[in-house]
Amino acid sequence: MGHRHTSTDAVTATDERRDVARVGIVGAGQLARMTVQAAIGLAVPIRLLADRATDSAALVSPDVRLGAPDDPAALAALAAGCDVVTFDHELVDAEILARLEAAGHTVRPGAGVVALVQDKRRQRAALAAAGCPNPAWQALDGADPERDLVAFGEAHGWPVVAKAARGGYDGRGVWVLGDPDAARALLAGPIGAGTPLMAEAFVPIAREIAVVVARRPGGEVVAYPAVETVQVDGICRELRIPAPLSPSLVVEAERLALSVAEAIGVVGLLAVELFVTHGDAAGEGGEDGGRLVVNELASRPHNSGHWTIEGARTSQFAQHLRAVLDWPLGPTAPTAPAVVTVNVLGAAGASGDPAARVGAALAVPGVQVHLYGKAARPGRKLGHVTALGDDPDEVADRARRAAAVLAGE
């Protein structure tokens, strides 16, 4: 006979269910929001550390603590109440995380990986150590950054790319400089003081791709298929699967991503953004002679993985939870021959809330809509639309039409 409920059985509150691991997420943006959604079916309790009660994930979560991601007390309280701490963004003080680890808390990915991914110079050094292809690069942290930047341009050819080593996103913090005057103007301006900078050789980019991988603490890893990330003005507009690459570049991109995950010992998701270069005359490398160069890393769910919610056998958000909880990883194969995701960006001049246009967007057949509950601002990522099918262009057309309706274009 099984256990019989009696009147003395307590209703088990979430706070008391210590046999079920609770995941704490630092940050409450759209990545946390979609992770919360994935956690529901897995019955994983999530506690968020949100800056504001109006943050994208805080709007839809029952267990939210308000606090800054760089407040040691807020992080310590999150870690104390959760079995695993993970992240919606990497703007967290890695030294605080290291102290939490030293105190016995489980932080995934660990403090060392967070310190690495939050600094593009450390990423470059780690990629080089792992044998991955970097562009030529240099930290601009000497006594005379202007002289070093101009010398870098003279040595590697103009244009050069200057980057803020920390804190950039959506292309903010990336400057393509055509000549020494542009380099001097940048450093004479407001970003010259205080921003840790680096220089990179300009890569002739044919297309940009990303490979999302997931890794468990014991080392089990899986990779999602490479996705083309179509960028406009430094912002990702579309994801296309399969990425239009030669089979050899697909294999190489996956191999690179898995080797980075291994080399840095990430736990959870790792998104590896790569450039495919224009082919050289010798026709070496993959399609049209293109080669792969790693751009940057993110150790969390990533915009380039949003297509996996409907387009892959396991969504990246469920996969991240499985990895940080050290559960078996899920299959990564696509669910259709062609998958396209289009980001919904705030449009200049658009009025009203995109949520008011969902019904109209769904008039486009077969599209799946995700809105993040964020206030519309021009260029801001407000949601995304995914479509599946057989023909990449037909699928892209549907996803674009629905995204345009949502954006109010």
Interface residues with ligand ADP (CB under 6 A)? Answer: 135, 161, 163, 168-174, 200, 202-203, 205, 208, 231, 234, 273, 295-296
The minimum distance between CB 154 and ligand ADP, in angstroms, equals 17
Name the residue whose CB lies closest to ligand ADP: 203
Rounded CA separation 154/140 (Å): 15
Beta carbon of residue 112, minimum distance to ligand ADP (angstroms, whole number) = 20
Nearest CB to ligand ADP, comparing residues 222 and 226: 226
CB of 276 to ligand ADP, least distance (A): 12
- Pick 196 or 234: Cβ nearer ligand ADP: 234
Instruction: Kindly tell me which of 275 and 357 has the beta carbon lying closer to ligand ADP.
Output: 275
Comparison of 123 and 332: residue with beta carbon closer to ligand ADP: 123
Judged by CB, which is closer to ligand ADP: 258, or 271?
271
Helix axis angle, 94-102 to 72-81, nearest 10°: 40
Q: At closest approach, how far in Å is the CB of 284 from ligand ADP? A: 20
Q: Which is nearer to ligand ADP, 168 or 196 (CB)?
A: 168
CB of 208 to ligand ADP, least distance (A): 6
Q: How far is the CB of 245 from ligand ADP (least distance, A)?
A: 17
